[in-house]
Structure 1
Amino acid sequence: MNDSTLATRIKERRKALDITQTELAERVGMRQQSIQYLESGKGNRTSFILELAKVLRCDPNWLLNGESTEDRA
C-alpha cells in the first residue's frame, strides 16, 4: 500500500498532466478553492472522486485509497 494521501495523489497527478487547479476545478465542476482545499489535505470530499479520476485519467480506487483494482488481483 502506498503511504501517499488523497491530497498528494491529486496534486501529483494534476501536475503530471500539466493541469492547473483552476482547469481541474472547471473540468470536474468544482471551485478552484475546493481543489486547493483538497490538495492542502484539509478536506477529503469524496463526492467528486469519479469526476476527479476521469479528468486525472487514473483509477478512482487509487485516487481514494492509494490502491488500484490491479493491486487487488
Structure 2
Amino acid sequence: MQVTIHAAKTNLSKLIELAKAGEEVVIAKGKVPVARIVPIPQTRFMIGLLKDKVEPGGPDFFESMAEEELGLWEGKD
C-alpha cells in the first residue's frame, strides 16, 4: 500500500496497525516513494535462557593466577 505524506499524517495509527499485520506501507511525496513503515520484531527477554544447557564448573574468576600466566597478561616473559 502506498499513501501520500498527508494521508500518512491523517491515518498514522491505522497505517501502523497495517504494518504490524504484515502489510507493506510506503509513504510517497507525490508519486515518489520516500519512506516505509515496518514493524519492529518483538522479542521477549527470558531469564535463565541457558539454564541446564551450560555445564557447571567453569573457571573461577576470583582465583589467583599462576605467576607465569600473570606474567603473560602483564607482558613479561
TM-score in terms of structure 2 length: 0.22
More strand by share: 2
Q: Which protein, 1 or 2, shows the higher relative CO under an 8 Å CA cutoff with sep ≥ 6?
A: 1
